[in-house]
Amino acid sequence: MSQEIRNLEPKQLWNKFADLNAVPRPSKKEERVIEFMVNFGKSLGLETFIDDIQNVIIRKPATAGMENRKTIVLQSHLDMVHQKNSTTVFDFDKQGIDMYVDGDWVRANGTTLGADNGLGVATIMAILESKDIAHPAIDALFTIDEETGMTGALGLKGGILKGDILLNLDTEEDTEIAIGCAGGVDVTATRKYDLVATPNNVIAYSIIVKGLNGGHSGMDIHKGLGNANKIMNRLLYNGFEDFTLQVAEINGGSLRNAIPRESSAKIVVAEKSNDAFTKAFNALSADIKTEFKTTEPNLIIELTKTEVPAKVMKGETQKNIIKAIYAAQNGVYRMSATMKDLVETSNNIARVLIKDGEILIACLTRSSVETSKFDLANALRSTFELAGCEVTFKGSYPGWTPNVASPILDVLVNVYQKQHNGEKPSVVACHAGLECGILGTNYPKMDMVSFGPTIKGAHSPDERASISSVQKYWNYVLEILVNIPVRG
């Protein structure tokens, strides 16, 4: 890790971020970071404990003169999305993130950076450790498993937190204050299929789709980015419709909350159709690249001869599943009718794995409207059930309904204007899944807002955090702390 990171300002925040990023913290494998955070809290002599679901809570009393202010909850999640470039050799379970400075950006070498939500965690750590930052009484809440199910927020019981106000430090534009977000549900289609012996007189190919930007399946879903699973399926559809292409296996995407960047497939075509197939494949590849030349200038589609596999999918199953993936909604389903430019409902076809007689298709469906969320989920269910799949819904969590009359929102707007010569921040709802809506179910009277520094490319190896924005954000946090209202 570059020592440059620890020398950045504000040093107290960047040093905590560097400490945190030295600890492996994949979603659902947070044991090491939980231990790290508990040891941190206890080393400061602060009340520190773990709840039933393994969230970490650290309490710090108010500083002198701030005892009459409302208690605040500072909240961020401990886990991070693990994505890496296909050429990057890296073990997320064992290695800390390798960071470096690139102009105004902090990046990681070939992997996600963990700024989502590590910068929020580091902010809270710096405040807890400080001896000279004025603040009211604090409940610091570090939740687990935000990225793959929000089980930490879902499992937090009422009555544990003492705060009246919650500041969630998990948004990614420093000019925005979020007061609402989307809910989500995991839609998973599975089925078994019959394998048949590969016919004689065929040529086998490996197809690779790579070089896509990827990104956050909520915040980036409206940007027209390529989905590797949909692009691969389009290539296969053309092949089996016209050249009796047969699939041996498909492996595309990874995490539900990341727009898939890469996909691979092994296929065979009849020797007699080979020339026509390769000509048509190259033409279609060129068309797809042209379509995506603005949003995906680095898209690569490769067709390479390979060894003939022993078995392939049975024809009828292949036809049905490829048609189902083609028909399944991916991307924006509906824009909000009440908030300008807000995606209301969307779906990300995140994972397609077809191998050894088993099919798995994993989606994340998001919406700020619960009924619309399940409308799209049911449309996906219907599509995949027509292809013979069993479809399940799991991990459903609610959205966060905006409260434009929020008192703490007024505080944040006023502080922002004071620090930026009257310029107003944007008050928004976002299409990502923030934990505020979930936490609000057990703490319905808690006043909540979400904000953070500028982070680009979250959930992809292009994730980067703006150094100048972190400085701006840190000053903002410090001023908010001294402007927390007095208890009524």
Q: How many other β-carbons are positioned within 10 Å of the β-carbon of residue 364?
A: 25
Answer CATH for 3-181+400-481 from 3.40.50.2000, 3.40.630.10, 1.10.357.10, 3.90.1150.10: 3.40.630.10
User: Among residues 187, 194, 191, which one has the least CA distance to residue 359?
Assistant: 191
3-state SS, residue 110: coil
3-state SS, residue 202: strand
Q: What is the pLDDT of residues 105-117, one digit of tens each?
A: 999 999 999 999 9
How far is residue 472's CA from residue 275's CA, in Å, rounded to a whole number?
59
- Please determine, for residue 54, whether its predicted confidence score (pLDDT) is greater than 80: yes
pLDDT value, residue 240: 78
How far is residue 346's CA from residue 295's CA, in Å, rounded to a whole number?
19
Contact 319, 240 (CB under 8 A): yes
79 is catalytic: yes
CA 83 → CA 109, 120, 238, distances in Å? 11, 20, 30
Topology of the domain comprising 185-397: Alpha-Beta Plaits (3.30.70)
Active-site residue (options: 116, 139, 145, 146): 146
Residues across the chain: 488
N-term to C-term CA, the chain: 47
DSSP-derived secondary structure letter, 108: E
Q: What angle do CA 318, 320, 324 make, to 5 degrees?
A: 115
pLDDT band at 244 (very low <50, low <70, confident <90, very high): confident
176 is catalytic: no
pLDDT value, residue 18: 97
pLDDT band at 1 (very low <50, low <70, confident <90, very high): low
pLDDT value, residue 432: 87
Active-site residue (options: 30, 79, 116, 296): 79
Supply the pTM of this predicted model.
0.78
pLDDT band at 340 (very low <50, low <70, confident <90, very high): confident
Q: Average pLDDT, whole number, for the chain?
A: 96
- Where in the chain do CATH 3.30.70.360 domains reside? 185-397
- Please determine, for residue 24, whether its predicted confidence score (pLDDT) is greater than 70: yes
For 113-127, 281-295, 420-434, 462-476, which range has the lowest pLDDT when averaged over its residues? Answer: 420-434
- Where in the chain do CATH 3.40.630.10 domains reside? 3-181+400-481
In 3-state terms the chain splits into helix, strand, coil percentages (rounded to 5) of 30, 30, 40
pLDDT value, residue 239: 85
Q: What angle do CA 18, 135, 424 make, to 5 degrees?
A: 85
For 61-70, 80-89, 246-255, 418-427, which range has the lowest pLDDT when averaged over its residues? Answer: 80-89
